[in-house]
Amino acid sequence: MSPEVPSEKTAYLAFVLLRYHRINAQRSTMTYKDLMIIVAIAAAVTTAACDRSEPTAAGSTEPDRSANAVQERTDKTAELEKRTIDIEREWTEMESKVKEEARTPTGGLRAEVKEDVANVREAVADLKTTTPENWWERHERALEQTADDIRADVMRLAQRKTLPEPEVKAEPVGTSGFDQRRSQFINRVRARVDAMEEALHNVKGDGALDTELEDTRARIDKLQGDLDNLRNVSQDEWFDVSSERVGEYIDRVERSISRLDDDRAAGSRRPQ
């Protein structure tokens, strides 16, 4: 029981005890009855002080933790919204620069970046309604869409009409444990990404085409890294995983934007 400011009731009982003691102090002797009364009052004072029970550690900190977690998510989302505005500004500036300097990025790269810039804002908006219940399904959908987009570019660049697709499909949410569903998803997308890498293995290009190949391979590498990081993710990390995906998406789009004015020959390109 830690020291604390006494309540009015406790203070009053203490006053009564002190008063009673002074009265009896004026007497020459204290009877057994007097002693019992003092003991009873002292016990009442102690009980009154202890009745002001302190909140348990869990009870006192849990609301604070919850409020802090909500605030952290709000702050993180606001930070990503600001980055979205910056991305849109960078895209506008790069479009002007490409025209002024007569750069000629491939139509495929230009269209891809333009679509990504629009999708970044949607991804941040989607983060605001992400919950512990829907985060994994949304995460799967986002990565599957990324794989679909990359696959389409790989087929065009490699001049392939088709690429191998794994037959295993994700089970509906709730029909298997989280760890099992996560492993199935990673293995399925990994097989798709491996097929993309194989298709681009010997594909080469010059100038703007080489820049687009570089960008596509960078997107494949990023997706491979995302899959590696997911292997040990727990459900408790739902917001961290979701917000990091959006933040890294913004990083990747920024790098793609920076490549738009790079149409020089492969040997003279500046390092990225």
CA distances from 45 to 20, 33, 95, 109, 241 (A): 14, 19, 78, 79, 54
**pLDDT in the model for residue 226:** 93
pLDDT of amino acid 261: 78
C-alpha distance from residue 249 to each of 59, 118, 155 (Å) = 39, 12, 22
pTM, to two decimals: 0.68
pLDDT at 265 (0 to 100): 36
pLDDT of residue 267: 38
Yes or no: say if 48 and 7 are a contact pair by the CB < 8 Å rule.
yes
Residues of the chain with pLDDT under 50: 1-6, 28, 45, 53, 264-272
Among candidate residues 239, 248, 242, the one with its CA nearest the CA of residue 69: 239
- What pLDDT was estimated at residue 103? 75
d(CA 167, CA 160): 20
Helix (H) or strand (E) holding 221: helix 208-230
Q: In Å, how far are 1, 147, 218 from 17, measured between CA atoms?
A: 21, 79, 81
User: What pLDDT score was predicted for residue 17?
Assistant: 54
